[in-house]
């Protein structure tokens, strides 16, 4: 897998581009000269984590023949602000699932995703405590 990062201005705004031409704008924070025109690198990491896990959840619930109508995730990262660099020490994912889904199936799907199948979780879990919870509404 290969991607490219290009700089968009003379400061810290970047465009990440994949082979298919899809791109995302990522920018450093105000302390680095950022102007708030893109997601921060660490925000992109949290989004990558939640998307990786959500793709699994969608696929698993589909295999379980559960009717998932919507899925949203709030992702909260707690940083070690007294360290350099200020790594995440904890990341909590709150999944909001909407649809005709049995609670036991939702729990199983989330558990399989976060604890077994999600590639990004697997790479981070050695250094970051990753937890999750969920809310289900029909």
Find out whether 46 and 77 touch, Cβ atoms under 8 Å: yes
- The H or E element that residue 105 is part of is helix 103-112
Q: Of 90, 105, 128, 137, which one interacts with its own copies (CB under 8 A)? A: 128
Q: How far apart are CA 4 and CA 24, in angstroms?
A: 11
Q: Which of residues 29-68 bind its own copies (CB under 8 A)?
A: 32-34, 36-52, 54-55, 58-59
SS3 13: strand
137 sits near its own copies (criterion: CB under 8 A) = no
Question: How is residue 94 annotated by DSSP?
Answer: E
Using CB under 8 A as the criterion, which residues of the chain lie in contact with its own copies when the complex forms? 1-7, 11-12, 14, 16, 18, 20, 22-28, 32-34, 36-52, 54-55, 58-59, 70-77, 79, 84-88, 116-120, 122-124, 126-128
């Amino acid at each position: 897998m290969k991607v490219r990062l290009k700089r968009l201005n003379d400061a810290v705004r970047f465009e990440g581009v994949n082979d298919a031409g899809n791109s995302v704008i990522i920018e450093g924070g105000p302390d680095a000269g950022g102007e708030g025109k893109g997601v921060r690198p660490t925000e992109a990491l949290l989004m990558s984590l939640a998307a990786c896990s959500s793709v699994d959840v969608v696929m698993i619930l589909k295999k379980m023949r559960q009717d998932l109508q919507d899925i949203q995730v709030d992702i909260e990262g707690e940083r070690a602000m007294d360290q350099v660099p200020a790594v995440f020490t904890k990341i909590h994912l709150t999944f909001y699932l909407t649809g005709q889904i049995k609670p036991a199936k939702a729990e199983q799907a989330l558990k399989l995703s976060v604890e077994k199948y999600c590639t990004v979780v697997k790479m981070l879990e050695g250094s970051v405590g990753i937890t999750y919870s969920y809310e289900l509404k029909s």
